[in-house]
Amino acid sequence: MSGFDPASFEPARKGRQFEDFEVGRVIEHHWGRTLTQADNVAFCTATCSWSPMYLNAEFARAHGHPDVVLHPMLVLCTCVGLSVEDLSEAGGPFLGVDGCRFLRSLHPGDTVTARSTVMDKRESRSRPGTGIVTWATEGRDQRGEKVLEYRRTNLVARRSGRG
């Protein structure tokens, strides 16, 4: 045995705490994600979403699209995922999404990016040592056109761990 003791290493702290968020702050999330036909098929299969708009190119073309439409919930999940490192990686319960609007369709090969703005923050009355933060997030395609917008709220740990 090498004598290596993983418990002797302090875990690296990731994510932001409540104090790191200021109302009005804009956070550009990392480089984005190109969504593929394989992503779409896997998502539709995993969620049992069999709409021909998402799985049949000829059907989608007959309805004015250049290819199948990427499932909107895949786009939403991707945008939320792009924001996790910057907003909620430190943990804390996800409290919900509000006002979600899908503004335009995406197709295989489109790239989605995300940007969030801190809309509100307050200390939690029921959970000392935490706060509640709400962000407005928008997803854009590779042309910079807004494709999605929503508000997301999370419980976020305070740095001090106390109220």
**Cα separation, 162 vs 61, whole angstroms:** 56
Domain extents in the chain? 16-157
pLDDT at 133: 98
Domain 16-157 maps to which CATH number in 3.40.50.1980, 3.30.70.2190, 3.40.718.10, 3.10.129.10?
3.10.129.10
Surface-to-core class of residue 112, CB atoms within 10 Å of its CB (0-12 exposed, 13-18 middle, 19+ buried): buried
Smallest CA-to-CA distance from 34 within 144, 109, 107, 102 is with 109
| pLDDT tens per residue across all 163 residues of the chain | 578 888 888 877 778 999 999 999 999 998 999 999 999 999 999 999 999 999 999 999 999 999 999 999 999 999 999 999 999 998 889 999 999 999 999 999 999 999 999 999 999 999 989 999 999 999 999 999 999 999 999 999 998 765 5
What are the backbone angles phi and psi of residue 26, rounded to the nearest 5°?
A: -105, 130
Interaxial angle between packed helices 72-87 and 37-46, expressed in degrees from 0 to 180 and rounded to the nearest 10: 100
Compute CA distances 104 → 13, 48, 60, 126, whole Å: 37, 23, 14, 39
What are the backbone angles phi and psi of residue 85, rounded to the nearest 5°?
A: -55, -40
pLDDT at 160: 75
Dihedral, CA of residue 14, residue 18, residue 20 and residue 22, to nearest 10? 150
pLDDT at 18: 95
Answer whether 32's CB lies under 8 Å from 82's CB: yes
Helix (H) or strand (E) holding 79: helix 72-87
Q: Please tell me whether residue 158 adopts helix, strand or coil conformation.
A: coil
pTM of the model: 0.89
